[in-house]
Amino acid sequence: MAVGHMSIKKNDNVLVIAGRDRGKRGRVMVVTPGKNGVIVEGVNIIKRHTKPNPQKNIKGGIVERETSMSAAKVQVVCPQCGAATRIGHQVLEDGKKVRICRKCKGVVDK
């Protein structure tokens, strides 16, 4: 499987567009380009049964945590127009390459 370019970066606000968490918004915590995956805060929660480990200070029990999901299931939310959008790229006059919103043509990068 060829790995393409990912237009989603850490700390982006995204909208989930597919799956059981469709419609939820959250912040991207981890991006894994090799697997084309993202981990979004508060989305795709799983229950993990963990054994107690006193050496690592881990309490046992059922732990809820986020797990990875496909980057194709999320869309970046534009900070200017607030809409979930596809991402375009543009080179500014000073030679800097930035990501832009396809709807309002605003710059997504800080």
pLDDT tens readout for residues 56-85: 998 889 999 999 999 999 999 999 999 999
Q: What are phi and psi of 71, to 5 degrees?
A: -65, -20
pLDDT-derived band of residue 1, with 50, 70 and 90 as boundaries? very low
Q: Give the C-alpha separation, 105 to 25, whole Å.
A: 21
Tokens of 47: 């229950």
Each domain of the chain, given as residue ranges in start order, spans: 13-77, 85-110
pTM given for the model: 0.82
**Taking 70 as the threshold, does the pLDDT of residue 4 lie above it?**
no
| CATH number assigned to the domain with residue range 13-77, chosen from the 4 options 3.40.50.300, 2.30.30.30, 1.20.990.10, 1.10.3720.10 | 2.30.30.30
**Mean pLDDT to the nearest integer, 4-25:** 92
